[in-house]
Chains A and B, each alone.
Chain A
Amino acid sequence: ILNVEQSPQSLHVQEGDSTNFTCSFPSSNFYALHWYRWETAKSPEALFVMTLNGDEKKKGRISATLNTKEGYSYLYIKGSQPEDSATYLCAFGNSGYALNFGKGTSLLVTP
């Protein structure tokens, strides 16, 4: 069992606040680190896939960084909006076919 840990478990911020959360994963046999956004009553949707140490990806107000040597990734949301409210899942891929998911960080952004 590959432990992927996400923190915090939940987060409540005001509209306009910037926020970030963490994913930690095993640093050995690393292939890829994924971030997914999962809105209520919908399916998880891919945000980023990162493969190289030091990778930084950005999509609009959301960005992510990757440190494979120490086994962590950060997801940042700049100027949070209510539509950013969702559960953010991190998933670690190694040499197998499967992705190993963390429990997610549940973000609530209130106006």
Chain B
Amino acid sequence: EPEVTQTPSHQVTQMGQEVILRCVPISNHLYFYWYRQILGQKVEFLVSFYNNEISEKSEIFDDQFSVERPDGSNFTLKIRSTKLEDSAMYFCARKQGALNTGELFFGEGSRLTVL
């Protein structure tokens, strides 16, 4: 059973549409991350979320992106107006262990295709 459940597994959307990707941890954790992988490229860090606040974000995570934990359980990544280059596999992960050395447990990913 995965540590983290992600929905949807695959979403196809039109350019300019809003997309919400969801992440549900099995148990209550404090540190969450969103990463993405564009086909053929590196796994890229987007944002980390600690105790219901953004703790760090990358240059990729611009104003089009937002994260929240609306009900204290589900953890969402929203892309306001999708672009073609947002097509990627998006992974949610939780950290186990110390902040700087703990390992990540990834969800199974949400594949986003922007047409």
B75 contacts the other chain (Cβ, under 8 Å)? no
Count residues on chain B whose CB falls below 8 Å from chain A CBs.
27
Contact between A44 and B103 (Cβ–Cβ < 8 Å)? no
Q: A49-B103, A97-B56 are in contact. Are A103 and B91 (CB under 8 A)?
A: no
> When the two chains form their complex, are residues B41 and A43 in contact, meaning their CB atoms are under 8 A apart?
no
Residues from chain B with Cβ under 8 Å of A102 in the complex: 42
> Do the beta carbons of A93 and B100 come within 8 Å of each other?
yes
Nearest Cβ in chain B — how far from A93, in angstroms? 6
Shortest beta-carbon distance from A72 to chain B in Å: 18
Within the complex, what minimum Cβ distance (angstroms) separates A81 from chain B? 23
A97 and B43 contact, CB distance less than 8 A: no
A44 to B4, CA, bound (A): 12
Q: Are B103 and A98 in contact (CB under 8 A)?
A: no
Bound complex: CA of A63 vs CA of B35, how far in Å?
26
Q: Closest CB of chain A to B67's CB: distance in Å?
A: 13
The reply on B105 being an interface residue by CB < 8 A is: yes
User: Does A95 count as interface, using CB distance less than 8 angstroms?
Assistant: yes
Report how far A51 CA is from B101 CA in the complex, Å: 7
| Contact (Cβ within 8 A) B101 A31 | yes
15 chain-A/chain-B pairs, Cβ below 8 angstroms: A31-B100, A43-B2, A45-B106, A46-B103, A46-B104, A46-B105, A49-B97, A49-B102, A89-B43, A91-B43, A93-B101, A97-B31, A98-B56, A99-B45, A102-B42
Beyond contacts A96-B56, A98-B33, A99-B45: 18 other A-B pairs, Cβ-Cβ < 8 A, are A31-B101, A36-B104, A44-B43, A44-B104, A46-B104, A89-B43, A93-B100, A94-B100, A97-B31, A97-B50, A97-B56, A97-B100, A98-B48, A100-B45, A101-B43, A101-B44, A103-B41, A104-B42
